[in-house]
Amino acid sequence: MDIDSLLKRKQDLYTLLKSQHEAEVNEMNHYMSVLSRLNNGIIKNYVHKLLDDGLRHIEYISTMMTTIEGASSSLNLTKQGIIKSIDEEKESRDLLLKCVALADDVETKSLLKSIIVDEEHHIKILEHIEELVSKPG
Ligand SMILES: [Fe+2]
C-alpha cells in the first residue's frame, strides 16, 4: 500500500474514533441524567456498569487518537490545563458551599458536604499533578 493510502486510512480511523468518542460522552450524559430517577437497585447497578464501561472506552479511544495525532499533541496535561482544572474544582466547591448554606434538611446538607470533601480532595490531587508535571523527568 502506498503512503497516501496509509495516511488516508489513518485519517479515516481518526475521524471515526472522534465520532465514537462523542457518542460515548453522549451516552454517559444520558445515563447520568437517568441515574437519580432510578429506584431499582439492580437497574441502578446496570447503569453504573454502563457508565464504568463508557469511561474506560473513552480512555481507550482517547489514547488511540493521541497515538494517531503523534507526540506533538500528547501534551494534554499542560500546566495551564491543570491550573484551569484546579480553578474549576474550586468553583465547584464554592458553589456547593452556597448550596449547603441554602439547604434546610440535614440529609441534603450532609450529602453536599461529602461532595465538598471530595472536591477538596480533587484540588489536592490536581495540585500534586501540577507539581509532578512541573518537575522534569
Ligand atoms: Fe471534582
Q: Determine the distance separating the centroid of ligand 1 and the alpha carbon of 3, expressed in angstroms.
A: 44
d(CA 8, CA 98): 52
Give the residue among 110, 129, 118, 111 at the shortest CA–CA distance from 92.
Answer: 118
Q: Determine the distance separating the centroid of ligand 1 and the alpha carbon of 71, expressed in angstroms.
A: 28
Q: Determine the distance separating the centroid of ligand 1 and the alpha carbon of 118, expressed in angstroms.
A: 7
Would you list the DSSP string of 47-65? HHHHHHHHHHHHHHHHHHH
d(CA 92, CA 45): 27
pLDDT beyond 60 at 38: yes
Locus of grid cell 502506498: 2
Q: Determine the distance separating the centroid of ligand 1 and the alpha carbon of 75, expressed in angstroms.
A: 22
Would you list the DSSP string of 82-118? HHHHHHHHHHHHHHHHHHHHH--SHHHHHHHHHHHHH
Mean pLDDT, range 58-86, rounded to an integer: 83
CB 21 within 8 A of CB 65: yes
Q: Determine the distance separating the centroid of ligand 1 and the alpha carbon of 21, expressed in angstroms.
A: 21
Q: What is the pLDDT of residues 75-103, one digit of tens each?
A: 557 888 999 999 999 999 999 999 999 99
Q: Determine the distance separating the centroid of ligand 1 and the alpha carbon of 2, expressed in angstroms.
A: 47
